[in-house]
Chain A
Amino acid sequence: MTGPAQRLHPLTFVVGAVRELVALLAAGMTGLVVGGLSTAFYFTLVGLAFGLFFHIAGWATFTYIVREDRIELRRSLIGRSVKSIPRDRIRGVDISTSLPHRLLGLAVVHIDAGADGGEGELNAVSRHEAERLRRVLLTRTEQPRRVLGRMRRRWYVYAPLSGAYLLTPFALAGSLLGTLYNLGDDLGLITQERVESAGHSAVGLPTALVVALAILVLIAMPVMSVIVFTLFNWDFTVHERDGSLVAERGLVTRRSVSLERRRLRGVEFADNPFERAAGVTRLGALITGLGDAAHRGRLLPAAPRPAAEALATRVLGAIPGPLLPHPTAARGRRVARAMAPPAGVALLAVAAGQFWVAYVCAVLAVFAVPLGLDRYRQLGHATGSGLLTVRSGSLRRRQVVIEHGAIVGWRVRRTLFQRRLGLATLFVAVGAGEGGYTALDMAEGDAVALAASITPAWLAPFLDAPLPVDAAAP
């Protein structure tokens, strides 16, 4: 079904031009106000005209064609370039709309074709065309969409727990102040005396006011984090359509990410101790060849554990459980690992005669004991119904669930200390996500047995052979 060569939406250059030229325009106006019809103003005007011309020319020379087996993006502004993306390589089609795009009924289509196929962007086409392209490029049959999961209103208050958004008020205030300062500086409003007097009056502020301000900032942190989180993840919906998972989110800029179902290899639950206490977790998908997976693979940014598990079950199948704990010998190792860095620094500090540092590190080492114990408590693995799951970590606990078919290899590591304790770390190599996930400190026999139970054909020749796995233990 080769279509005709198509252009982007005619209004495209309006958005591009407006967005990029607003700054120039503002500069031009400022120049006009401050210096009248100066050379600077004419320069800006020329820049403006040139920019507009550039955008129009870019639009006029860019075409795309959807062919039987590929999509071609042709650009012939300066030199000709044809980028062709094979359609069977396309792994995802994202549609995003920023505020100006939405006002004009436009959408940006981002085509992701993994590492070998590159990626393409259509900036921008009409909303209708974007939907059509997604349908055409990703699928072969039409199916109604089915909602798999959706953020509830009250889940947005979990935002401060993750910690990721807590610093946003500072970032916002910083950029706002910076902009104001630059603007004021340009307009000649900021002079040496004014800055100095502002500094003096800040020093002269009563203590009560400073304390009140500090408290205000502290309160603002969680509130702002909820607001920012809500802006990014408003109405977060995961639905299934034509063999893809589609995650939509965002209030101002609406983003939608399509993840092909057949490239899904597993899911990952992540949480920290605060989230654990509130029973909240984050759910992500492990997809082969997905760039920026941390953001784009997200299936639920924050949700109560049962809801996340229900979604994971709908996406992948029943999560195996309960997790089997790892041998007690692993506990000592976790605690020792947690204590080693501060204790080591403390020893060095003593050797170097820095007793203060040594005390601080010793206290840290004591606090590391419960951390190590918790790390041990969180270790676990389970397998069943075609899925394998492993869990580890405390401050950032992660549980990954992987399809058996996605495993591309096994790696078993036993360090000197592990060998003495009869432990082994099993690495599960997967061609998605981070490439490998570990089951830390399993009992040696269990590690081999687990691998053998999942892929018996790979291990069988070695289990009986004189050389390998069990026989190799000294």
Chain B
Amino acid sequence: MAHWAIEYLLLWGLGFGLALGVAAWIDDSGWDALPGWLSGRVGWLAYLVGAVGLLMVTVAPVWRYRVHRWEVSADVVYTRTGWFSREWLLVPVGRIQTVETGQGWLERMLGLATIEINTASHTGSSEVSGLPVDVATRLADDLAHRAHDLRDDAT
């Protein structure tokens, strides 16, 4: 959760800064193409971006954390992701081709890892992010072994 919050904070902070810059630049340049009602109030747009960003930083990570689930049953990997739109993904272990674990610099600071489960199809490939490192490694090992055992050729 903290990971997403930091990611959103960085992204929207950057967006806010950019918007402020652009607004200031438009104000200065006295661009006539702007319709009347907008000129002189361009600065507001930047604050709008900032407000939305604040909302994203506080609400979205919590929401996403509550939606996200993953489960590995006997031979199917199930994941649920999203917040506004939800996605369920079911991938049978037998159709998994590769399992990867990765850690970004942020994730490393927080002791998290992401597992990428790839099948022959892009649509059927999933990602479980924000797992504790040891859980992720164990899961990846386990999946890779079982995928090897259960392998059937539909690719």
Minimum Cβ distance to chain B for residue A15 (Å): 38
Q: Are A462 and B73 in touch, CB under 8 angstroms?
A: yes
| Chain A residues whose CB sits within 8 angstroms of the CB of B36 once the complex forms | 353
Q: Scoring B residues 116 to 140 as 1 if CB is less than 8 Å from chain A, else 0, what string do you get?
A: 0001111111100000000000000
Q: Are B155 and A288 in touch, CB under 8 angstroms?
A: yes
Q: Are A462 and B78 in touch, CB under 8 angstroms?
A: yes
- The answer to whether B71 has its CB under 8 Å from any CB of chain A is yes
Minimum Cβ distance to chain A for residue B70 (Å): 10
Q: Are A412 and B87 in touch, CB under 8 angstroms?
A: yes
| Chain B residues whose CB sits within 8 angstroms of the CB of A406 once the complex forms | 154
C-alpha gap A288/B82 in the complex (Å): 30
Q: Are B76 and A461 in touch, CB under 8 angstroms?
A: yes
C-alpha gap A413/B84 in the complex (Å): 11
C-alpha gap A209/B4 in the complex (Å): 68
C-alpha gap A344/B40 in the complex (Å): 24
> A410's contact among B35, B69, B85, B89, by CB below 8 Å, is which?
B89
Most chain A beta-carbon contacts within 10 A, residue among B89, B123, B155: B123
- The answer to whether A351 has its CB under 8 Å from any CB of chain B is yes
| Chain A residues whose CB sits within 8 angstroms of the CB of B73 once the complex forms | 461-462
Among B22-30, B43-51, B90-98, B99-107, the stretch in contact with A: B90-98
C-alpha gap A405/B95 in the complex (Å): 11
Q: Are B154 and A415 in touch, CB under 8 angstroms?
A: no
Select from chain B the residue with minimum beta-carbon distance to A431: B120
Minimum Cβ distance to chain A for residue B53 (Å): 20
C-alpha gap A352/B89 in the complex (Å): 42
Q: Scoring A residues 461 to 474 as 1 if CB is less than 8 Å from chain B, else 0, what string do you get?
A: 11001011100100
What's the tally of chain A residues with a CB closer than 8 Å to chain B? 40
| Chain B residues whose CB sits within 8 angstroms of the CB of A405 once the complex forms | 154
Q: Are A415 and B85 in touch, CB under 8 angstroms?
A: yes
Known: A288-B120, A408-B155, A429-B119. A467 touches B71 (CB 8 A): yes
| Chain B residues whose CB sits within 8 angstroms of the CB of A461 once the complex forms | 73-74, 76
| Chain A residues whose CB sits within 8 angstroms of the CB of B41 once the complex forms | none
Select from chain B the residue with minimum beta-carbon distance to A406: B154
Q: Are A458 and B90 in touch, CB under 8 angstroms?
A: yes
Select from chain B the residue with minimum beta-carbon distance to A438: B123
Known: A353-B35, A405-B154. A468 touches B87 (CB 8 A): no
| Chain B residues whose CB sits within 8 angstroms of the CB of A47 once the complex forms | none
Select from chain A the residue with minimum beta-carbon distance to B155: A431
- The answer to whether A419 has its CB under 8 Å from any CB of chain B is yes
Select from chain B the residue with minimum beta-carbon distance to A407: B154
Minimum Cβ distance to chain A for residue B36 (Å): 8
| Chain B residues whose CB sits within 8 angstroms of the CB of A455 once the complex forms | 92
| Chain A residues whose CB sits within 8 angstroms of the CB of B95 once the complex forms | 408-409, 431
Select from chain A the residue with minimum beta-carbon distance to B38: A351
Minimum Cβ distance to chain A for residue B146 (Å): 14
C-alpha gap A407/B74 in the complex (Å): 18
Q: Are B155 and A409 in touch, CB under 8 angstroms?
A: no
C-alpha gap A428/B122 in the complex (Å): 11
Known: A409-B91, A409-B123. A416 touches B85 (CB 8 A): yes
- The answer to whether B108 has its CB under 8 Å from any CB of chain A is no
| Chain B residues whose CB sits within 8 angstroms of the CB of A351 once the complex forms | 35, 38
- The answer to whether A107 has its CB under 8 Å from any CB of chain B is no
- The answer to whether B3 has its CB under 8 Å from any CB of chain A is no
| Chain A residues whose CB sits within 8 angstroms of the CB of B123 once the complex forms | 409, 411, 427-430, 435-436
Minimum Cβ distance to chain A for residue B51 (Å): 20
| Chain B residues whose CB sits within 8 angstroms of the CB of A409 once the complex forms | 89-92, 95, 119, 121, 123-124, 126
Q: Are A467 and B76 in touch, CB under 8 angstroms?
A: no
| Chain A residues whose CB sits within 8 angstroms of the CB of B145 once the complex forms | none
Most chain A beta-carbon contacts within 10 A, residue among B36, B38, B154: B154
| Chain A residues whose CB sits within 8 angstroms of the CB of B85 once the complex forms | 413-416, 418
| Chain B residues whose CB sits within 8 angstroms of the CB of A265 once the complex forms | 154
Q: Are A458 and B119 in touch, CB under 8 angstroms?
A: no
- The answer to whether A451 has its CB under 8 Å from any CB of chain B is yes
C-alpha gap A429/B123 in the complex (Å): 5
| Chain B residues whose CB sits within 8 angstroms of the CB of A432 once the complex forms | 120-121
Known: A408-B121, A435-B121, A436-B121. A468 touches B88 (CB 8 A): yes
- The answer to whether A459 has its CB under 8 Å from any CB of chain B is yes
Most chain B beta-carbon contacts within 10 A, residue among A413, A427, A429: A429
Contacting A at CB under 8 A, from B53-88, are: 69, 71, 73-76, 78, 80, 82, 84-88
Minimum Cβ distance to chain B for residue A386 (Å): 13
> B87's contact among A352, A411, A430, A431, by CB below 8 Å, is which?
A411
Q: Are A458 and B155 in touch, CB under 8 angstroms?
A: no
Minimum Cβ distance to chain A for residue B149 (Å): 16
> A435's contact among B76, B82, B122, by CB below 8 Å, is which?
B122
CB pairs A–B below 8 angstroms (24 shown): A288-B120, A351-B35, A353-B36, A407-B154, A408-B119, A410-B124, A411-B88, A411-B89, A411-B90, A413-B82, A416-B84, A429-B121, A429-B123, A429-B125, A430-B121, A430-B124, A431-B120, A431-B124, A431-B154, A436-B122, A458-B75, A462-B78, A467-B71, A468-B78
List 4 additional A-B contacts (Cβ < 8 Å) besides A409-B121, A435-B122.
A435-B124, A458-B90, A459-B90, A462-B76
